[in-house]
Amino acid sequence: MGAEADLVHAPLLTYASMLSLLSLCPPFVILLWYTMVHADGSVLQTWDYLRQHGQQGLIDIWPKPTATAWKIIACYAAFEAALQLLLPGKRVEGPVSPAGNKPVYKANGVLAYVVTLVTYLGLWWFGIFNPTIVYDHLGEIFSALIFGSFVFCIFLYIKGHVAPSSTDSGSSGNLIIDFYWGMELYPRIGENFDIKVFTNCRFGMMSWAVLAVTYCIKQYETYGKLSDSMLVNTILMLVYVTKFFWWEAGYWNTMDIAHDRAGFYICWGCLVWVPSIYTSPGMYLVNHPVNLGVKLAIFILVAGILCIYINYDCDRQRQEFRRTNGKCLVWGKAPSKIVASYTTTTGQTKSSLLLTSGWWGLARHFHYVPEILGAFFWTVPALFDHFLPYFYVVFLTILLFDRAKRDDDRCKTKYGKYWKVYCDKVPSRIIPGIY
C-alpha cells in the first residue's frame, strides 16, 4: 500500500487534520465529560471557567487515571477478549482484501453482547458490583483510556513494522501517516484474535451498550425513578447496538474493517471516542431527568426505531445482494446492477456487483440519512435547553458526509469507468435529489 493511497484528502489537509485530531480530541473528551457531569451540560459555564482559569483550569479538571479506573478497564477488556476468543460462533469469511487475502472470523457477537449485558445487570442485581461506580469514576476512566489507547496505537505501529499478521500491511514511508491511518489491515494476536474486531466491536460498540445501561442505573439510583426521556434514549441506543451485533458479520465487510487500517484514526476512535462521545446524550440525561409525557415519548421511540430499521435494511439489502450474487429480490423485483471489474494490488482481475436499485438506487450512500436521523431521535429526549447533547449528531453528520466522499473517491479509483456508470445512474451522493 503506497503513500498515495493513504492521502485520502489533499496532503496538507491530511496533515492538518491528523495533527489537530491528535492534539484536540483528548482535551475535548475531558471537557465534554466535565461539562456533562459537573457543569450542568452548559458549554457557556465551561467556557466561563476556562476563560477565568486558562490552561491551568484544564489541567485542574483533568482527572488522573486512578487504580479503580484501570481495574474497571482491565476487567472489562479481559472479559470481552475472553468472550471473543472462547464463545462459539459460525466461521465467516471477510471480503477479498486489496492484497487478495480472505480473512476468517468467528461470528459470536450476539452471544458476547447478551452475555455482557446479562452479566453486568446480574452483578448489579445481586449486589456484587454497582454500575454507578463506573459513572462516578467516568472522568478517570476516560483519562486512562486516552492514555492507554495512545500507547496501544504505538504498539500497533511497532507491530505493523516488525511483525505484520498478513501481506495487507505496509508503510507509507511517513511516520505520522503510518501512526494515524495504521499499517495493518487485519492485525491479529496469534491466529484467531483479531485486534480490529476487539477494538471496534467488542470494546467500543459494547461499551456503548454498557454505558447506556450505566447511565440509566445512575439516574434511577440518584432520583429513585427513571425519567421517560432516559428510558427512550436508552432503549433507542440499545436497539441500535443490538442491531449492530446482529449484523456484526456484515460490519466486517464495511470500510472500517475492509479498507481502513488499524491506526489512531480507527482504533483510538473506537477505544476512546465511542465510549465518551457516542454515549454522551445518555451522560447528559443522568442529571437532567426531562419528562416528555407518554405521547411524545412514544412518538420519538417509534420514529427512532423506524430510522434504525431503515438503516439496517439498507445494509442488509446490499449484503444480501452481494451474498446471493445478485440472485435475490430487492423491493420485490429482480435487482438492477452493474458488474464492475477491478485489479487487486497483486495484479489479479476480479469483479464486484454494484446494486443500483432499492435503497442503493435512491442515493449512493442513502443509508447515512436514517443513521443520522436515528441519532437525532435518541438525543431529542434531552429537548433543547443545551446544545452539547447534540454534539454527537453534528459530529456524525460531518463524519458521514466526509466518509461518503472518501468512499466515493476510493470506489472511483477501484472501479474506474464502472463507478462513473453508477454515478450517472444514481447521481445523488447521500440525499436523493439534493446532494
Residues 91-120 that bind ligand NDP (CB under 6 A): 95
Report which of 263, 287, 303 is spatially closest to residue 385, judged by C-alpha positions. Answer: 287
- Measured CA to CA, the distance from residue 368 to residue 120 in angstroms comes to 31
Q: Which CA distances in Å does 415 have to 7, 65, 166?
A: 18, 47, 24
Q: What is the dihedral of CA 322, 328, 332, 335, to 10 degrees?
A: 50
Query: Using the rule CB under 6 A, which residue among 112, 354, 369, 430 binds ligand NDP?
Result: 354
Q: Minimum distance between the CB of residue 13 and ligand NDP, rounded to whole angstroms?
A: 20
Burial level of 384, CB count in 10 A (0-12/13-18/19+)? exposed
Contact present, 35 and 41 (Cβ < 8 Å): yes
| C-alpha atoms less than 13 angstroms from C-alpha of 144 in its C-beta half-sphere | 16
* 308 is a site residue for ligand NDP (CB under 6 A): no
Q: Minimum distance between the CB of residue 221 and ligand NDP, rounded to whole angstroms?
A: 29
Residues 42-81 that bind ligand NDP (CB under 6 A): none
Binding mask 365-404 for ligand NDP (x = CB under 6 A): --xx--x------------------------x--x---x-
Contact present, 267 and 333 (Cβ < 8 Å): no
**Complex with ligand NDP: residue 9 or 414, whichever CB lies closer:** 414
CB atoms within 10 A of CB 420: 11
* 407 is a site residue for ligand NDP (CB under 6 A): yes
* 360 is a site residue for ligand NDP (CB under 6 A): yes
Residues found in the chain: 435
**Complex with ligand NDP: residue 39 or 249, whichever CB lies closer:** 249
Span of 157-165, 220-228, 254-262, 299-307 interacting with ligand NDP by CB under 6 A: 254-262
C-alpha cell at 134: 463506573
Q: Minimum distance between the CB of residue 396 and ligand NDP, rounded to whole angstroms?
A: 6
Query: Using the rule CB under 6 A, which residue among 106, 137, 196, 318 binds ligand NDP?
Result: 318
Residues 333-352 that bind ligand NDP (CB under 6 A): 352
**Complex with ligand NDP: residue 6 or 315, whichever CB lies closer:** 315
Q: Cα 78 to the chain's mean position, in Å?
A: 20
DSSP symbols for 6-21 = H--S-HHHHHHHHHHH
Q: Minimum distance between the CB of residue 1 and ligand NDP, rounded to whole angstroms?
A: 15
**Complex with ligand NDP: residue 40 or 256, whichever CB lies closer:** 256
List interacting residues with ligand NDP (CB under 6 A). 95, 254-256, 311, 315, 318, 322, 352, 354-355, 360, 367-368, 371, 396, 399, 403, 407, 411, 414
